[in-house]
Chains A and B, each alone.
Chain A
């Protein structure tokens, strides 16, 4: 994916890059190398100082949020990162140059000594040769010497007389021995020179390899981003290249035992380098996802489980490390490759999908998840359309069965990874799950939420539900109404698809259920109306009688005041909604998520009634009625025993009020209300505001979960509003009288009738799961 400029061992041998003539002084200038190293180190120090300055400038931008400030912060951060990477490269280069200068200096000194020794030995050799020649000439006229083979005529145990023929022969022999010794020293000195030359070449090779590793800009960035030492790059890079080179052999060819060992080696090396960013920077520049699947995918030669938790973790961490320095184009290419690489062959597809999922950790940048999601989406529609054509059905596009469902089930781990990525990147989630084009929106909802893997999602539906919640959060929190409307349409469409799709499998994980509840929370205001309007329809065919997905642009919070909901409200198929709530509130933990949503909603409506309802008591009553109606719709969809269990965990009115007050956060009402309630109860003798009084008494008398729910929420709203008025200085009796219409103990049944209507509409129709 990027150019690796030069691999290690560039000199190709001990003397492959040498510029040295035979038996000449070794070339190179250690002082020049040290000077260069010093200059590089000074630049690195300067860059470290620059980085500190940049971080200080960035810190000054911390206090304010705006597009300009964010952009400037991002720019300064990028500069600081680049300064650190460049500084790291320069420091490591300086270290390499210094080490090489020392090695070069030592080699040059050794070579120089060897050459000096050789020169001295050569001189001696020449002198002894001359002496030998002279001695030889002195023996030329001695008779019989030639006949005796040149041996001197000397009796054993005697010294030849000076000037005599024996003395001349002795000189010759001694000179020849000395010349031979000098020759041996010449040869030894030349050997020392060659050793010095080879030592220099080896040092040059090591230095070149180290510098070649530093030339891998991405690897250096990855290492410095992780705060590691770039000097470790050589070993990491070499290990990465070696294991990448092993992948094809681990995938095919060779005998079974050898391949089994290779697969084990690959797994071991990948796992061992889990925390080595330099390794992964080089590895993913060399290998592709498909290479990895072929090498480690299921194989008859190797019964080992392809993706252990340890390997999964190493691959995820390594991919994340690589991604930190990848461009958007590279991330897109990688994301596409992760999906395309798993191939079509059904055998082993599930295991390859698990490997692919490991390569797509949720924290990977959005570009990778976008490309992976698009590739997976295209794969889905090709198979769904093929199946529809083959079966000749006129069913809705995207309805899966047979081979297409098998393929989707086998690739579910990969789909879950993509959805987890969507959940981590809310804008991507909104763009992909609620595209701006209407036709595409319906397709997207059907594709991602309109089905479930045969055995359920491997993560209990957490990624799918998280992606839905993230998309809705992104849309509802956007200042642009177009985004808000996309989120609204997403929930409206999803409500139709979820009961027969995502929620048709095994019960969702509690966190997934909580995310579904979170996705629906902005749309609680219209749920009561949806339930009431659909109640009079044909309930025996409830699903068919529901409204088409859409947006209710006319919806107001109450008819008594011009109050609009915070976000556009959807047209909801009330009975499909009931199925959604029922399926996502099957456990106590999941039910708590929905009750938490209704608590926050009730509190927000009370705050609105207390602070923004200019329409007076009629508007307040209207808001309370709307809220209690909505709460009835949600609670009616839940199982009675779970509501009962949830209420047992909230025993006193104080806790209910505290819950609501807490939900208000820093709202105008919340801070003072809880205190006001207690103080008022103590000073005014208002028994019903005694927050220590147990709700359980009223509940025991009423006996029914429906009434418990009504009393719980009705009481909360009433108490908070009365306390708010008292807190503002309105006499207690006046405040109580003003809110009698929403007092569960005194009201004229309008409130309870509204609650009953929606509660019963949602609870009495047979549930999908019961039908």
Chain B
């Protein structure tokens, strides 16, 4: 059984990174682009519409990505917790925890 190259601290940090990325992505979609899409900001109705379209087109991708990042982040946090006593886990153990964190597979 192959041991992981990551220790529990690194696993926890990786989980936090991913959670932070998910948050940033949520903010980017709902905050930054939405603020830019306001007619008062663009000064042009077509440009506002293009920004709104952009947000709509990426919405499903972003929602899926945010959900999957949060799910993997949760799996990593669980792995960090589970391996804490044993110092290190196996790749299979980690895969099982990532797999149980939810589904993000695209068809």
Contacts and interface: CB of A to CB of B under 8 A. Distances in A.
Contact of B36 (A6, A36, A46, A329): A36
A427 B50 CA distance: 44
Interface stretch (A185-193, A207-215, A647-655): A207-215
B47 A211 contact: yes
Most B CB contacts (10 A, CB to CB) among A40, A56, A216 go to A40
Contacts of A208: 44, 46-47, 49-50
Contacts of B105: 74-75, 78
Interface string B84-107: 000000111011101100001111
Nearest to B32: A39
Contacts of B54: 5, 89, 93, 211-212, 214-215
Contacts of A452: none
A43 B25 contact: yes
Which of B43, B56, B57 gathers the greatest number of chain A CB atoms within 10 Å? Answer: B43
Contacts of B46: 10-12, 16-17, 204-205, 208
Contacts of B40: 27-29, 32
Contacts of A212: 50, 53-54
A159 interface: no
B44 A61 contact: no
A79 B76 contact: no
Interface residues of A, number: 77
Contacts of A540: none
Interface string A39-76: 11011101101100110110111111010110111111
Contacts of B77: none
Contacts of B95: 61, 64, 66, 68-69, 71-73
A100 B47 contact: yes
A10 B76 contact: no
A69 B41 contact: no
A642 interface: no
A68 B99 contact: yes
B interface bracket (residues with beta carbon within 8 Å of A): 35 or more
Contacts of B107: 327-329
B21 A83 contact: yes
A61 B50 contact: no
B57 A33 contact: no
A86 B32 contact: no
A208 B51 CA distance: 7
Interface in B9-56: 14, 17-18, 20-21, 24-25, 27-28, 31-33, 35-36, 38-47, 49-51, 53-54, 56
Given A35-B35, A43-B28, A208-B50, A19 B44 contact: yes
25 contacts: A5-B57, A12-B46, A16-B46, A17-B46, A18-B43, A19-B45, A26-B43, A27-B43, A28-B43, A29-B43, A32-B35, A32-B38, A32-B41, A35-B32, A72-B98, A75-B99, A76-B72, A79-B104, A86-B65, A89-B54, A204-B47, A208-B47, A211-B50, A211-B53, A327-B106
Interface of B: 1-2, 4-6, 14, 17-18, 20-21, 24-25, 27-28, 31-33, 35-36, 38-47, 49-51, 53-54, 56-58, 61-62, 64-65, 68-69, 72, 76, 90-92, 94-96, 98-99, 104-107
Given A61-B94, A64-B95, 16 more contacts: A5-B57, A11-B46, A28-B44, A32-B35, A36-B41, A60-B4, A60-B91, A63-B91, A82-B61, A82-B65, A83-B69, A85-B61, A212-B50, A214-B54, A216-B57, A327-B106
Identify the 6 closest CB pairs spanning chains A and B, nearest first: A28-B43, A17-B46, A63-B2, A50-B21, A43-B28, A39-B32
Interface of A: 3, 5-6, 10-12, 16-20, 26-29, 32-33, 35-40, 42-44, 46-47, 49-50, 53-54, 56-57, 59-64, 66, 68-69, 71-76, 78-79, 82-83, 85-86, 89-90, 93, 97, 100, 104, 200-201, 204-205, 207-209, 211-212, 214-217, 327-329
